Amino acid sequence: MQEEMTGAEMVVRALKDQGVEHVFGYPGGAVLPIYDALFHQEELRHILVRHEQGAAHAAEGYARSTGKVGCLLVTSGPGATNVVTGLTDALLDSVPLVCITGQVPTHLIGSDAFQECDTVGITRHCTKHNYLVKSIVDLPRVLHEAFHVARTGRPGPVVVDVPKDVQFARGLYARPRDNQHKTYRPRLKGDLGKIKAALALMAQARRPVFYTGGGIINSGRHAATLLRELVHLTGFPITSTLMGLGAFPASDKQWLGMLGMHGSYEANLAMHDCDVMICVGARFDDRITGRLDAFSPNSRKIHIDIDPSSINKNVKVEIGILGDCGYVLEDMVRLWRETAARADRSALAGWWRTIEGWRAKKCFSYRNSSEVIKPQYAVQRLYAAVKDRDHYITTEVGQHQMWAAQFFHFQEPNRWMTSGGLGTMGYGLPAAIGVQLAHPKALVIDIAGEASVLMNMQEMSTAIQHRAPVKVFILNNEYMGMVRQWQELLHGGRYAESYTAALPDFVKLAQAYGAHGMRCSDPAKLDAAIAEMISTPGPVILDCVVSKEENCFPMIPSGKAHNEMLLGETAEDIGNVIDEKGKALV
Amino acid sequence: MPDTSTSHYPAAPKVEPTARHTLAVTVDNEPGVLARISGMFSGRGYNIESLTVSETEHAAHVSRITIVTSGTTHVIEQIKSQLERLVPVHGVRDLTTEGEAIERELALVKVAGKGEHRVEALRLAAAFGARTLDATLTSFVFELTGATDEIDRFIAMMTVVGLVEVSRTGIAAMSRGPEGM
Ligand SMILES: Cc1ncc(C[n+]2csc(CCOP(=O)(O)OP(=O)(O)O)c2C)c(N)n1
Ligand SMILES: [Mg+2]
């Protein structure tokens, strides 16, 4: 059944029909008709942010903690350019977003009109797909298609640019139908022949390892359940990327911890020495592989991914299975059971003994202090305080992010929101607000750095307005710690511009926004401070003053292989370990 | 030369052989589709040696883009999957790996000159089978259709006798045999 309405009403209606309950946005001239349509209804809740970048990250947090599409609405020109960072972030971390942008009326497009910018041109490279809708006739189809493209296949951000005259125009609205798209048809089921070949390879493995990533989380809860089943059936060790944390429970015996540049010793050495690698929903990113030509030199590799361009992109694999992790894992579990496949038990036992040897290194150990709060200790105490509650964690970007990944342990998917691919400082606070709106009763904490959190601090005001009781746990080392660490290791300790000399008083800053502000610098009082932060009903900023020059270890220095990883106690020599070539890398 | 093996990025291409490939890409003919394709090439650092585009099925809004690019087997595979990832792309075929494809290009070549050069230009045009589209007392415009290297040779010859201007269409290509895309 078709109904007549304006373009602006179609936007609001399509969002509702697509199951959107919250839209993050900021008004302006080119979206006023859509805001007017929002005014006349109650089901769709608009969350007014303080900067459009905040809307994008909030929508990301919302999407990643629910598995639904995050939605945002911004005006033309500066509204659209302000979301570019958030869209790029979502593209690199495969987060489904639909971003509606207003545009100047069609007859003014190309005339450098007030607040005109080439939104589809600017966002072409930072979206999965984008549309400029020049006619009301196309609007309903494009809106529904945008959601379809955003959520299916490898998820990603989609922009729909709607000129103001199209918002005013009247036309016929049609509800979404699941017609096949003309060209876009992601493949879900994996090739059975290849799956069988993969299982045969796994059954012969003597030193196997599962290397998993965000693809499992994107595939849905079901995929995480199947992964757990397969890992338990096989008895293989498992590690994951930063993006995949929580897909497999960190408390499980078979869990090796995160891998990569700041990953665990045992995970990285297992990757290096394995003979069969089963990569599920990860993409052999440079933070993971380290020096590429020394990456897991003796393994036969299986790669399961929904994006064909990820297979054989950085690392050549023997068996590439194109499909959705959930579907492929389902076949794998079933066939492994049916064939009563057995891994080589005695070889596996030997492999586990080797791994236990690596584990015994206790690579995350650090020297604690009774005078000053160590950042690692702060994350450990935070974890101890919240682990039995319904909690979600977001982070900013830097050392604190890595310490959060190392010392906070995730048992379930969709509980950990961090900017992995783009490494966007300023992600954590708005993302936390998005998460909190999706889960009003849960405890949502942004583990933050003092530098990063200032990048979108204005969103505290959003948290207050929309009663999102997020907790901002700042590991305040007064430095852009990760930058300082690299300067220490690679640039002779010359800390160019990485010290923030005029930090605000975060307690007063919290109060200025109408939130609760706290400071803690005494390790003995940390637990009490954390308890107060958690039990305070509204938004809280806890300024946790930590040791200033702590480094994040272990670390695989640039240009080095997994088995050349540095542990904390060898830190002093690190400057000599990285050669000229390595210094040129990021 | 420093040891390149310390880089953790794909090592600077290890003298792997590169080859020219002709890709036929069918796309939905929507605004901006060409920008998506050419932008993907520039954004990811691939090069385009030739690109032609035209609507082939008007009613279905389908266009065909013929792209000539070069790279190692691995790079060509990446280019194909990156193309296939674009939402309006129907399909990509590598005409080079599917057996010798037919490739043709059309060139318009303007030559100016007098006396002996004029006569030579006409002789060469006849030898290459070019058509004369325009003639004045001091110039010619020739049309030549052929394989790329044939056109290259024709232009090289004309340079000697007084080449003024060249306009080439880029390559149109098709696989041999009964099968379609
Ligand atoms: C938008 C943005 N600009 C710059 C960087 C580079 N960068 C990475 S980490 C970092 C320092 C972060 O400092 P802080 O938030 O205090 O975290 P810490 O490392 O001290 O824990 C910087 C500047 C970035 N990732 N994002
Ligand atoms: Mg800091």
Same domain, A437 and A323: no
- Tell me the pLDDT tens digit for each residue of B138-163: 999 999 999 999 999 999 999 999 99
- The pLDDT of residue B6 is above 90: no
Contact (Cβ atoms closer than 8 angstroms) between residue A44 and residue A11 = no
Bridge partners, residue A5, by sequence: A171
Give residue A72's domain range: 3-173
Domain's final residue, options A306, A333, A359? A359
- Give me Rg for the CA atoms of chain A: 24
Bridge partners, residue B168, by sequence: B107
Q: Is A562 inside any structural domain? A: no
d(CA A351, CA A345): 10
d(CA A477, CA A455): 16
Q: Is A291 inside any structural domain? A: yes
Please report the pLDDT score of residue A102 as a whole number. 98
Question: Is B9's CB within 8 Å of A286's CB?
Answer: yes
Same domain, A353 and A385: no
- The reply to whether the predicted model has a pTM over 0.80 is yes
- Tell me the pLDDT tens digit for each residue of A351-377: 999 999 999 999 999 999 999 999 999
Residues with CB in 5 Å of ion ligand 2:
A 449-451, 477, 481
Closest to A207 measured CA to CA, from A348, A354, A341:
A348
d(CA A356, CA A371): 33
How far, in Å, is the centroid of ligand 2 from the Cα of A582?
Answer: 24
In order, the DSSP letters of A403-453 are: HHHHHS---STTSEE---SS--TT-HHHHHHHHHHHSTTSEEEEEEEHHHH
Q: Is A409 inside any structural domain? A: yes
Q: What is the mean pLDDT of residues A141-167?
A: 97
Same domain, A166 and A312: no
- Tell me the pLDDT tens digit for each residue of A13-23: 999 999 999 99
pLDDT band for B99, please (50, 70, 90 cuts).
confident
Domain's final residue, options A146, A173, A200? A173
Same domain, A163 and A253: no
Same domain, A414 and A277: no
Q: What is the CATH number of the domain that holds A351?
A: 3.40.50.1220
Chain A neighbors of B87, CB-CB under 8 A: 128-129, 149, 183-184
Q: Which of B2, B8, B28 is the closest to A291 by Cβ?
A: B8
Ligand 1: which of A478, A482, A497, A498 to mutate, judged by most atoms within 8 Å of the beta carbon?
A: A482
Q: What is the CATH number of the domain that holds A419?
A: 3.40.50.970
- The pLDDT of residue A577 is above 60: no
Number of domains forming the structure of chain A: 3
- The pLDDT of residue A430 is above 90: yes
Angle at B163 between CA B161 and CA B165, to 5 degrees: 170
Q: Is A537 inside any structural domain? A: yes
Closest to A194 measured CA to CA, from A338, A325, A332, A297:
A332
pLDDT band for A293, please (50, 70, 90 cuts).
confident
Q: Is A179 inside any structural domain? A: no
Cβ–Cβ pairs < 8 A, chains A and B: 74
Q: Is A370 inside any structural domain? A: no
Same domain, A80 and A219: no
- Tell me the pLDDT tens digit for each residue of A204-224: 999 999 999 999 999 999 999
- Give the percent of chain A with pLDDT over 90: 90
Question: Is A309's CB within 8 Å of B81's CB?
Answer: yes
In order, the DSSP letters of A136-176 are: GGGHHHHHHHHHHHHHSSS--EEEEEEEHHHHHSEEEE---
Helix A265-273 and helix A345-359, axial crossing angle in degrees, nearest 10: 140
Closest to A96 measured CA to CA, from A153, A162, A32:
A153
d(CA A409, CA A384): 10
Same domain, A222 and A301: yes
- Taking CA–CA distances from A309, the nearest residue in chain B reads B81
Query: Which residue is it, tokens 């001239």?
Result: A29
Same domain, A137 and A221: no
Q: Mind listing the domains of chain B with CATH numbers?
A: 19-94 (3.30.70.260), 102-174 (3.30.70.1150)
Neighbours of B165 (CB within 10 A): 11
Ligand 1: which of A93, A242, A394, A425 to mutate, judged by most atoms within 8 Å of the beta carbon?
A: A425
Minimal CA separation from B71 to chain A, in Å:
14
Using DSSP, state whether A117 is helix, strand or coil.
coil
Same domain, A339 and A198: yes
Angle at A299 between CA A296 and CA A300, to 5 degrees: 135
d(CA A539, CA A471): 6
Residue A486 CB contacts under 8 Å (≥ 6 apart), including other chains? none
Note every long-range contact of A417-421, with CB atoms under 8 Å and residues 24 or more positions apart, other chains counting.
Answer: A417/A60, A417/A61, A417/A64, A417/A65, A417/A392, A417/A393, A418/A242, A418/A243, A418/A394, A419/A89, A419/A93, A419/A395, A420/A92, A420/A93, A420/A214, A420/A241, A420/A242, A420/A243, A421/A89, A421/A91, A421/A92, A421/A93, A421/A243, A421/A285
Contact (Cβ atoms closer than 8 angstroms) between residue B106 and residue B145 = yes
Using DSSP, state whether B52 is helix, strand or coil.
strand
Same domain, A166 and A286: no
- Tell me the pLDDT tens digit for each residue of A232-290: 999 999 999 999 999 999 999 999 999 999 999 999 999 999 999 999 999 999 999 98
Bridge partners, residue A163, by sequence: A103
DSSP H or E segment with residue A265: helix A265-273
Same domain, A29 and A163: yes
Same domain, A206 and A266: yes
DSSP H or E segment with residue B90: strand B89-94
Could you tell me if the CB of A422 is within 6 A of ligand 1?
no
Minimal CA separation from B109 to chain A, in Å:
35
Q: Is A344 inside any structural domain? A: yes
- The pLDDT of residue A78 is above 50: yes
A253: left (phi over 0), alpha (psi -120 to 50) or beta: alpha
The whole-chain average pLDDT of chain A stands at 95
Q: Is A558 inside any structural domain? A: no
Interface pTM (ipTM) of the complex?
Answer: 0.87
